[in-house]
Structure 1
Amino acid sequence: MAHTRSALQPLLLSALMALTACGTQSANGAALESKARSLGIEPAMVYVTDVPGYSVALQSVGVIGDHGFGVSYSGPNGGTIELRVDERAFSGPVGCTEATNATRTGQVTCEQEGNHWYRATGTSHSYVLEDADLVIRLSADPGTVDRDVLRQAAEHVHQASAEESARVLPSESRGGQGLPERGDLPANGDGAPQDPAGLFAGTSG
């Protein structure tokens, strides 16, 4: 009997540790969801990407529209990649429909690359892709972020894990100023949320 009891002890300890870890993960996940919603962000809309040399600008994290997500990545040479996630505003596939007239006059370049759409003007360029009912856009100034780097950001974009969400979402210790500034409001004046003409317009704002 003593032998059986000693053999069961490691098994019971492992089971207890597994249950504890599961409970901790669930609690952490619930806390992150609560934090996102307190910032006005829908948790499922928190996406991140990975580009060598680029890091999250924590002060840039904010709401897009009503509950979308926005964040910027700063590069080693001063370049910035903006990541925005919002809901689809229409039922058709993401494409260049809204940019057709501009494309005819040579003002806009818009082309498909696999599951992505690339759009460029003289002052900005972006990659747009769909994920379920969401539209994800990565934008940059072509003078500071070239197309290859922007493509890499688009290829690596994905829904944030719990660990990634914890690193990206602002905490009270990062300034303690309450909600972050919205990522889609103009820098000056009382204008409406920004949504550059082109590939899509989110429903949340």
Structure 2
Amino acid sequence: MRRTGRRIAVIPLLALPLLGLAACGEEDGTGRSAGTGAADEPVDEALVARAAALDTTVDMVYVTEAPGFTLAVQSVGPLNASGFQSSYTDASGAVLHLTVDHAPRDTEDLCPVLTGGEGWFCATDGGVWTASSDASGELRARVEDGRLITVAGDTSVPAEALDAALEAAHQADAEELAATLPDAPDDDGTPVERGDLPANGDGAPVDPVDPENASG
């Protein structure tokens, strides 16, 4: 294992600093990256549209699995310019984060990209990068076909779960895309009704406000 000896800044794992990465490779008309094996797989136009509505492309949508963790569908969203992110939770409430972004052109030392300062220990072994912080948790990362795939969790997520999640992370096939991507907005621009907001209590605000029910 090559250890960088670098200490990195403590940064919340919910907001990993994967910013300003240079895009690599070109995309074909399907939204898959040209030159990858997945580019040969036909992609339904409806799935391409659903990815575009999320400000990403189907080639950036990855799924994974780890013992006891399941996808939190409401967590699925874009990352940076055209990346992808999602979260997986277990029965205890632990959260494992999966992110996919364009890899930097220079992948010799990913520690500054993955962490960015003091407070983390970072090392690499066989193409897998590991960064850890006693206070904040750990992450794992690898580069694949010009993409940077990262899984991260706080101290409640076992290291074994992160290892399994990174190993299992893969580009979603058509069935997995359909199960993962949110529905695209209607043709008239009406957003799809969300199912993760409560019907009462602290739900979304009413607009316009009924003046008879408005408080002073």
TM-score range with shorter-chain normalisation? 0.5 to 0.7
How large is the RMSD of aligned CA atoms in angstroms?
A: 2.6
Shift of 1:84: 0.6
Contact 2:89 2:96 in 1 (8 A): yes
Measured in 1, the distance between the counterparts of 2:116 and 2:98 equals 24
Counting aligned pairs with the same residue, the percent is 29
Match of 1:73 among 81, 88, 94: 88
Select between 33-42 and 91-100 the one with higher mean Cα deviation: 91-100
Deviation at 1:101, TM superposition (A): 6.6
Letter in 1 for 2:124: Q
Give, in angstroms, the shift of residue 88 of structure 1: 1.9
Assess if the C-alpha contact under 8 Å between 1:94 and 1:129 holds in 2. no
Written as runs of structure 1 = structure 2, the 5 A alignment for 1:50-129 is 50-97=65-112, 102=118, 107-121=119-133, 122-129=135-142
Could you say what secondary structure the match of 2:106 adopts? coil
C-alpha distance in 2, partners of 1:81/1:169? 18
Map 1:102-181 onto structure 2 (within 5 A): 102=118, 107-121=119-133, 122-142=135-155, 144-171=156-183, 176-177=192-193
Letter in 1 for 2:192: G
CA gap of 1:100–1:135, structure 2 versus 1, over 3 A, is: closer
Matches within 5 A, 1:15-26: none
Report the AA paired with residue 157 of structure 1.
A
Equivalent in the alignment of 1:193: none
Larger proportion of strand: 2
Q: 1:56 to 1:100 in 2, by over 3 A?
A: closer
Give 1:167 deviation, angstroms.
Answer: 0.6
Question: Kindly tell me: are residues 94 and 164 of structure 1, through their superposed partners in 2, closer, same or farther at Cα, counting changes over 3 Å?
Answer: farther
Task: Please state how far the C-alpha of 1:134 moved relative to its aligned partner.
Answer: 0.8
**What are the Cα deviations for residues 145-166 of structure 1, in whole angstroms up to 9, with x where unaligned?**
0111111111111111110111
Q: 1:113 to 1:77 in 2, by over 3 A?
A: farther
Q: CA deviation at 1:171?
A: 2.1
Shift of 1:133: 1.0
Provide structure 2 residue ranges, at least 5 long, that are not aligned to the other structure.
1-40, 186-190, 197-216
Q: How many residues align?
A: 148
Question: Which has a greater percent of helix?
Answer: 1
CA distance in 1 between counterparts of 2:109 and 2:169 reads 17
